[in-house]
Structure 1
Amino acid sequence: MSELYSTTVTAIGGRNGTARSEDGLLDLHLALPKSLGGQGDATNPEQLFGAGYAACFGNAVIHVTRNKEKKIQDNDVEVIATVGMSPNGSGGFGLSVKLDVTIAGVDQAAAEAIVADAHKACPYSNAVRGNIDVTLSTHAR
C-alpha cells in the first residue's frame, strides 16, 4: 500500500509541554486538565485526539457518499467527539470515544447506513478498532 500522506509532530515535556508540527502550522502548549490536577490553561492530548477523530470521521462521511445519489457536502455533517480516559485495570490507562454524528438532508435510516460505512472507511476508526471502545450516535437533520 502506498502512503498517501505523512506528517511529523514533535512533543516535548509530555502533558505540560509543547507540540509542534514539522511545517509549524501546529504549534501549541499542552497542559494537564484541571480534572486531573493540572492548570487546564492549554489544550491536552485527548482534545487533540477528539478534534482529529471528529474531523476525519466527518470527511469519511463525505467520502462514502461520493458515488451515491445523495452526496453529503462539507456543511451537511457535524461530528462531536467525546474522549474519555479511564484506568485500564493493569496500571495504565485506556481511552473511550463517543461520536455524535448529525447529517443534514437525509432520513434517519440513510444517516445510519452512511455512518456505518464511514466507520469502516475512517482511518481513525480503523486504527482504534479493537483497542478503544467507540460508541456511535447518529441523527438525521
Structure 2
Amino acid sequence: MTIQKIDVAYTAVATAENGRDGRVSSDDGLLDVVVNPPKAMGGSGAGTNPEQLFAAGYSACFQGALGVVARQEKADISGSTVTASVSIGKTEAGGFGLEVAISASIPNVDAATAQALIEKAHQVCPYSNATRGNIKVELSVA
C-alpha cells in the first residue's frame, strides 16, 4: 500500500484520557466531551462514544464533499442532509472493526442524480478516501 502525500491545509489535534471511558478534548478547547462505551458494549452510555464522534465527523465531511460535487455539477442540494451510521463489532481475526452506512437526502434532485452525486462525493470526501479498502462503506439515497 502506498501512502499518498498531501499538501497539508490544517491539522486537528485532540487528546484522549482513559480511552473509551474518559474524555476527549481538542487543543483549542472547543471540543471537550466525556466518552463512555455504549450500553450495548457494557458501558454506562453516560457520554458520547468514539463511534458517534466518527459518525459526526464523517457525515459533516461527506456533506462538504457533496457540496463540492454539487457545485461542479450545478446541482441544487439545498436542504440536503447526510447521515453516517457507524457500527462496531468483532472481526474474524478476533479484534474489532467498523462499518459505515452513509445515507443522503437530497430533496431537489431526482433519485438517479442523487445517487450519482453521492458516488462522486465518495471519491472526494477525505473520510471516504481514508477508509476506502479498509472498512465496508455503503452509500444510499434516503
TM range (shorter): over 0.9
**Aligned pair partner of 2:9 in 4, 10, 33:** 4
Cα distance between partner residues in 2 of 1:69 and 1:29? 41
User: C-alpha displacement at 1:25, in angstroms?
Assistant: 0.4
Cα distance between partner residues in 1 of 2:74 and 2:14? 39
> Are the counterparts in 2 of residues 58 and 78 from structure 1 also a CA contact under 8 Å?
yes
* 1:37 counterpart letter in structure 2: G
Identity %: 47
* 1:56 counterpart letter in structure 2: C
> Are the counterparts in 1 of residues 100 and 136 from structure 2 also a CA contact under 8 Å?
yes
Per-residue CA deviation, residues 52-111 of structure 1 (Å, 9 max, x unaligned), is 1011111111111213332434xx221111111111111211100111111121111111
2:119 counterpart residue number: 116
Q: Does 1:25 align with 2:30?
A: yes
1:103 counterpart residue number: 106
After TM superposition, the score normalised by the length of structure 2 is: 0.92
Cα distance between partner residues in 2 of 1:79 and 1:135? 13
User: C-alpha displacement at 1:12, in angstroms?
Assistant: 0.7
Per-residue CA deviation, residues 12-51 of structure 1 (Å, 9 max, x unaligned), is 1000011000100000111111111111000000000001
Q: Does 1:78 align with 2:70?
A: no
User: Which sections of structure 1, spanning at least 5 residues, go unmatched?
Assistant: none
* 1:8 counterpart letter in structure 2: V
After TM superposition, the score normalised by the length of structure 1 is: 0.92
Structure 1 residue ranges (4+ consecutive) displaced by more than 6 angstroms after TM superposition: none
User: Which sections of structure 2, spanning at least 5 residues, go unmatched?
Assistant: 1-5
> How many residues get paired?
137
* 2:72 counterpart letter in structure 1: N
Cα distance between partner residues in 2 of 1:72 and 1:32? 35
- Alpha-carbon RMSD: 1.1
